[in-house]
Each structure stands twice: as structure tokens, then as C-alpha cells.
């Protein structure tokens, strides 16, 4: 029966809510291997053996939000707060360009220092210096006007994980001043403005069930994001969720394979969180259907302070080392990092 679901998913790129729930709740190692095989074939048909890189620049550990899972939440009085200056961010992008990055992801907490004027200035400086590069922003929820201004300044992509497609679960993970509706409003604004949009969710976070994942997968089917960032929940010692266990490589990879089959051309990162819970987590992610890695370009002096969860990897390495290490890891499983903006391929394209 599960085999029939895998066939249906591969052919139709869609299942019902109940079918997704069953596929997840009744998964077996054999099923995971079969889905991974199909996912790898689907990805190879679109992207060959290329893995795209994005240079991640962690611009600020200051955040006005208080998400129960996140180490940089505003109530964490022990968090070390920093913010990069506009010049420092642009400098990171220059370093990244010389290393072969053609996409820069600027990410940070929701920090009022990063006003539209400041961010637009940074985006246009990077775009002017490197017209062959894409700039992705990930600064959380902002007004539609703000998203419009940033888009006009040259940011073409925006990552805003939906976190969960379940309204109830969203309310258990966030304080009352954050809302599921606000998040969905931001995502639809980003889509309407014309961004390439990234959604995503954590795997194995507190209270999450197979039904919640089924909702996430149905959401991905309907929203059709260009990018989808999923990674295991990893507890942070100074948060309300400190005592919960981390998500698993196994379930994260299983979901990566399903997402690849829902949308064969989606840009799907093997995340740092996946590399944090297992030494070969990112390689396993690629072998399950992911096609993007995001080496860190942030200045080493601040790396440890973008402390979303415990034991985060890659906090001590220079950018070049980080890229070199990931390049070798990809080669070890038969893939190669490419110097490319890494735009989403058209739906029907095949290598
Ligand atoms: N402020 C921006 C936003 O909210 O989109 C970007 C920064 S936010 C820290 C980036 C992502 O980190 C979140 O979307 C969340 O899914 C992930 N994250 C936060 N805490 C985590 C944890 N304990 N384990 C795994 N991922 C976590």
C-alpha cells in the first residue's frame, strides 16, 4: 500500500492529507530508501549532480521576538547580542564572491536597526558590486511596503519559514504577540510582490505529529515555494523547550525526499542543523534529495553568537575553510559544488 502512495506521489506530485499522514506515520527503512531513490532520480533529472551554494551572512543576533524554541529570543538574557555594520556585511559578500559564491543570504533576528533604509542600502551595494549575484533576505516579518522597497532595491528572494502549517501548533511554539495569520499574510505579500519565496519548518519539535507534517506538505503543494528550508529541531539550553529531544536525521531526510517528489525543481537545502545532529547529516540530506548547502560567511568573531540552538557546527572556521569542507563532503557522495546563482529551474526542464 505504501508503495502505491510512493507511485502516486512520484506521478501526481500530490497526495491527500490522510495519505501524507499515513506515509509518515507508517514509514519503514525500506520505504525511506525507496522514496530517497525516487527523489534523487527526480532531482538528477532537473539539476544533474550540481549542488548550489549560498553564502550565509548572519547579520544580527538581536531579536524582538520570543519564539519558544530559539536561542536568540528576546527573553534570553544570557544571549550575546551583536549586529554587523552595513560595511561588514558588504565585506563578507566581497569575500564570498572571491570564493565562488553567487548568492548571498542575509539573515538575522527581527532587529529594528535593520530599517528599510539600512537594508536597501546594503542590498544595492552588493548588487552594484556583483551584478551576477542574487541577494536573499531573511529578516522575518515586515510590512508589505517594506518588502516592496527591499524588492525594488534588488533583493529577489526572501526566506520566511512558515514554521508550521497548523494554527494550533503555531500558537504552542510562539507567544501571543505572534500569529499564524500574520506569518501567512507575509508569505502571500512576498509571493504577490514577485519574490522567489522560501518557506520551511523544523522537524521533531515539541508537540509535532504526523498530522502536522501532513499539513505542512499540503501547504507546500498549494503554495509552491521556490525554496523550502527544513531542518531538525535542536534544543537550546536557555529556552522554554530546552528539555525536549532533538529531531532525527531519519525523519528529516524522509521529509526531504517527499518534498522533492512534490516539487522536483524546488531548491532544497541540506541545513546546518542537519549537520549539527550527525557528522554526515548534510551528506545524508543530499542523498535524500536536497540540492543546496549554505556555508557560513559571517565573521568568525561573531559566529558563536548567532546561537539559535546548542552545539551549532561551523562556528570556528573561516569562510574559505567552510566552503572547502562542504565541497569535499559533497564530492565524497558524488556531487559537486557549482559557481552559480542557483535559480530554480523551470518546472519541465531536464538536464
Ligand atoms: N528572524 C528570521 C525569521 O524568523 O525568519 C530569520 C532568523 S530565524 C532564527 C531562522 C530559523 O531558525 C527559524 O525560521 C527557525 O525555524 C530556525 N530555528 C530557530 N530555533 C531553532 C532550533 N532550536 N532548532 C532548529 N531550528 C531553529
Question: Ligand 1 mean position to 175 CA, how many Å?
Answer: 15
pLDDT digits (tens, 9 = 90+) for 22-37: 999 999 999 999 999 9
Ligand 1: which atom is nearest the Cα of residue 201? Answer: 16
Which value, to the nearest 10 degrees, does the dihedral of the CA atoms of residues 278, 282, 284, 290 take?
150
How are the residues of the chain apportioned to helix, strand and coil, as percentages rounded to the nearest 5? 45, 15, 40
Question: Ligand 1 mean position to 72 CA, how many Å?
Answer: 9
Per-residue pLDDT band for 268 (boundaries 50, 70, 90) equals very high
Ligand 1 in reach of 109 Cβ (< 6 A): yes
Question: Ligand 1 mean position to 3 CA, how many Å?
Answer: 34
Contact call for residues 342 and 52 (beta carbons, < 8 A): yes
CA pair distance 54, 134, nearest whole angstrom: 9
Ligand 1 in reach of 160 Cβ (< 6 A): yes
Who contacts 319 (Cβ-Cβ below 8 Å, separation ≥6)?
55, 92, 95, 96, 99, 295, 296, 297
CA pair distance 54, 106, nearest whole angstrom: 10
Mean pLDDT (the chain) is 97
Give mean pLDDT, residues 289-295.
97
Contact call for residues 143 and 116 (beta carbons, < 8 A): no
CA pair distance 193, 96, nearest whole angstrom: 28
Of 254, 247, 248, 246, give the one whose Cα is nearest residue 290.
254
Contact call for residues 232 and 249 (beta carbons, < 8 A): yes
Question: Ligand 1 mean position to 347 CA, how many Å?
Answer: 29
Ligand 1: which atom is nearest the Cα of residue 110? Answer: 1
Instruction: Kindly report the protein residue whose alpha carbon is nearest to atom 8 of ligand 1.
Output: 109
What per-residue confidence (pLDDT) applies to 17?
A: 98
Distances (CA, A) of 10 to 14, 158, 251, 257: 8, 28, 19, 10
Ligand 1 in reach of 173 Cβ (< 6 A): no
Specify the pairing of strand 50-53 against strand 55-60.
unpaired
351 has pLDDT over 60? no
Ligand 1: which atom is nearest the Cα of residue 246? Answer: 24
Residue positions forming the annotated binding site for (3R)-3-methyl-D-ornithine:
138
Q: In the CATH scheme, what is the code of domain 2-335?
A: 3.20.20.70
Give mean pLDDT, residues 35-53.
98
Question: Ligand 1 mean position to 233 CA, how many Å?
Answer: 9
Test site for ligand 1: of 68, 69, 272, most ligand atoms within 8 A of the Cβ: 69
344 has pLDDT over 60? yes
Distances (CA, A) of 98 to 14, 94, 95: 41, 6, 5
Domain borders along the chain are: 2-335
Question: Ligand 1 mean position to 228 CA, how many Å?
Answer: 13
Residue positions forming the annotated binding site for S-adenosyl-L-methionine:
163, 183
CA pair distance 131, 35, nearest whole angstrom: 39
ipTM, interface predicted TM-score of the complex: 0.99
Contact call for residues 214 and 17 (beta carbons, < 8 A): yes
Angle subtended at Cα 270 by Cα 265 and Cα 272, rounded to the nearest 5 degrees: 150
Percent of the chain with pLDDT over 90: 96
pTM of the model: 0.98
What per-residue confidence (pLDDT) applies to 93?
A: 97
Percent of the chain with pLDDT over 70: 99
What per-residue confidence (pLDDT) applies to 349?
A: 62
58 has pLDDT over 80? yes
140 has pLDDT over 90? yes
Give mean pLDDT, residues 106-116.
98
Test site for ligand 1: of 161, 169, 200, 234, most ligand atoms within 8 A of the Cβ: 161
pLDDT digits (tens, 9 = 90+) for 254-266: 999 999 999 999 9
CA pair distance 40, 264, nearest whole angstrom: 9
What's the order of all strands across the beta sheet hosting 103-108?
Answer: 55-60, 103-108, 134-138, 157-159, 196-203, 227-232
Give mean pLDDT, residues 276-301.
97
350 has pLDDT over 70? no
Question: Ligand 1 mean position to 18 CA, how many Å?
Answer: 28
What per-residue confidence (pLDDT) applies to 319?
A: 86
Amino acid at each position: 500500500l505504501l508503495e502505491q502512495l510512493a507511485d502516486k506521489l512520484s506521478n501526481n506530485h500530490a497526495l491527500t492529507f490522510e495519505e501524507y499522514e499515513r506515509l509518515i506515520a507508517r514509514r519503514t527503512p525500506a520505504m525511506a530508501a525507496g522514496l530517497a531513490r525516487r527523489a534523487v532520480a527526480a532531482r538528477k533529472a532537473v539539476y544533474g549532480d550540481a549542488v548550489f551554494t549560498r553564502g550565509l551572512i548572519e547579520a544580527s543576533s538581536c531579536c524582538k521576538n520570543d519564539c519558544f524554541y530559539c536561542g536568540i529570543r528576546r527573553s534570553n538574557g544570557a544571549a550575546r547580542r551583536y549586529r554587523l555594520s552595513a560595511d561588514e556585511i558588504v565585506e563578507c559578500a566581497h569575500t564570498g564572491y572571491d570564493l565562488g559564491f553567487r548568492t548571498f543570504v542575509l539573515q538575522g533576528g527581527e532587529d529594528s536597526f535593520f530599517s528599510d533604509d539600512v537594508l536597501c542600502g546594503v542590498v544595492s551595494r552588493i548588487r552594484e558590486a556583483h551584478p551576477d549575484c542574487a541577494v536573499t533576505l531573511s529578516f522575518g516579518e515586515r510590512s508589505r511596503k517594506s518588502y516592496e522597497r527591499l524588492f525594488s532595491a534588488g533583493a529577489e528572494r526572501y526566506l520566511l519559514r512558515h514554521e508550521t502549517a497548523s494554527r494550533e501548533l503555531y500558537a504552542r511554539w510562539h507567544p501571543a504577540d505572534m500569529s499564524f495569520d500574520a506569518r501567512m499574510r507575509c508569505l502571500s505579500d512576498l509571493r504577490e510582490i514577485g519574490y522567489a519565496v522560501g518557506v520551511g519548518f523544523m522537524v521533531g519539535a515539541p508537540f509535532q505529529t504526523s498530522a502536522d507534517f501532513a499539513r505542512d506538505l499540503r501547504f507546500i503543494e498549494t503554495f509552491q515555494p521556490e525554496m523550502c528550508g527544513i531542518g531538525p529541531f535542536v534544543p537550546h539550553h536557555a529556552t522554554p523547550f530546552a528539555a525536549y529531544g532533538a529531531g532525527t536525521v531519519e525523519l528529516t531526510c524522509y521529509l526531504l525526499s517527499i518534498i522533492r517528489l512534490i516539487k522536483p525543481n524546488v531548491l532544497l537545502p541540506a541545513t546546518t542543523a542537519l549537520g549539527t545532529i550527525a557528522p554526515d547529516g548534510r551528506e545524508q540530506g543530499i542523498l535524500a534529495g536536497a540540492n543546496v548547502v549554505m556555508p557560513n560567511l559571517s565573521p568568525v568573531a561573531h559566529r558563536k553568537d548567532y546561537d539559535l540552538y546548542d552545539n551549532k557546527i561551523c562556528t570556528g572556521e573561516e569562510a574559505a575553510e567552510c566552503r572547502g569542507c562542504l565541497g569535499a563532503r559533497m564530492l565524497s557522495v558524488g556531487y559537486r559544488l557549482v559557481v552559480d546563482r542557483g535559480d530554480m529551474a523551470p518546472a519541465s526542464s531536464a538536464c
